[in-house]
Amino acid sequence: MIPISICYHNRFSDEDKRKKAELWSALCQYSFQRFIPASAVVMDIGSGYCEFINAIRAKKKYAVDINPDTVKFAGREVIVIAKNALSIPKHLNGTIDRVFLSNFLEHLNTKEEVMDVFGRVYALLRSGGKLLILQPNIDLVKERYWDFFDHKVILNGKSLREGLVIAGFSVETWIERFLPYTTKSALPQGAFITRLYLSIPPAFRPFAGQSFVVAGKPEKR
């Protein structure tokens, strides 16, 4: 099996990584942070080069990835867990306030694995915790979904939300047209452009190819 880390290494130059870090800083500031209290314990599964987890403000931060480069890019305050999603230590169950998955589920082998990940996340979250997912939506990108060698599982809005409900989550926020499909684009980028793009009502965002969902674990009564 070809490690996904090789795909990432070939796909992103050092300049690409710099631009991505700037983009994610803006995304966290102008969008994701409002779903994540600064007092939260946050886990980023499939964290890659740690653009999200480095930029988000939180009390405690975990980065989970089997990519050996992850530890090189993680900030000092980030705890790196060099394991796959299903091997996250069980002593962390019930201790996480927010779990973030970005462009992750499409790399799994089957929808059964997707459901296994949802089950693992459910166990990790505290009562009332939330799962945030940024995900390519095949309904929006069509055949371009297969532009990346490591994409395997097909997900659209309905199937993603249905899987979350089956796993026991309640879908609280759904933005179908959230972001363009990929950062590998000739279109202008940067903090100002990102903030401007996010100010456009989702229904009218041009080139949108990724959807965003927030799903909650029910509060214990």
Indicate the burial class of 81 (C-beta count within 10 angstroms; 0-12, 13-18, 19 or more).
Answer: buried
The one-character DSSP state at 67 is -
Q: Is 180 left (phi over 0), alpha (psi -120 to 50) or beta?
A: beta
Report pLDDT for 187: 47
Report pLDDT for 186: 45
From first to last of its 221 residues, the chain has per-residue pLDDT tens of: 455 555 555 555 566 566 678 889 999 999 999 999 999 999 999 999 999 999 999 999 999 999 999 999 999 999 999 999 999 999 999 999 999 999 999 999 999 999 999 999 999 999 999 999 999 999 999 988 888 888 899 999 999 999 999 999 999 999 999 999 876 554 456 778 888 999 999 999 999 999 999 999 999 87
Q: 128 by DSSP, 3-state: which? A: strand
- Enumerate the H helices of the chain as residue ranges: 4-11, 14-30, 51-55, 70-73, 111-124, 138-141, 157-166, 191-199
Q: Domain locations in the chain?
A: 4-216
Report pLDDT for 147: 83
Report pLDDT for 153: 93
**Fold for the domain defined by 4-216:** Rossmann fold (3.40.50)
